[in-house]
Amino acid sequence: MLAPDEIARRKALKQAMRQAEREQLRSTLPIAPELMRSLFDFVDEKLSDGECDGSLSHTLTFLGQRERPVEPAVSWLQGLGGNCDCEVLANAEEKFIFAFPELEQREA
């Protein structure tokens, strides 16, 4: 059984690691957090009308309509496992919410 001070030390280390991961994700975000939140909402809406075709077509449409640099955003999303639109929602959005919990969309 671990001593209480060892439990507290491990808990503090775990929290520090989580905070470092959050800060790393936040610092590398290629577009404003609110715009990334809007991208996820846009892709979600588009996918609700049909299936993912295995591409980033909706993601690219969103970025193009807003005249944002595509490469940095796509690279960031792919780095988080967002290699197609459905993976953008399943993988990258999850990490985004971890880094920006204040921007998580809540169901009414």
Tens of pLDDT, residues 80-95: 999 999 999 999 999 9
Domains held by the chain: number: 1
Q: Structure tokens of 105?
A: 């969309």
pTM of the predicted protein model:
0.85
Q: Is the pLDDT of residue 108 over 50?
A: no
CA distance 106 to 103: 9
Model confidence pLDDT, tens digit, residues 41-74: 999 999 998 899 999 999 999 999 999 999 999 9
Domain region containing 88: 4-103
What torsion do the CA atoms of 57, 59, 64, 66 make, to the nearest 10 degrees?
A: 150
Contact yes or no for 56/70 (Cβ under 8 A): no
Average pLDDT score, the chain:
93
* Assigned domain for 56 exists: yes
* Assigned domain for 91 exists: yes
CA distance 77 to 88: 6
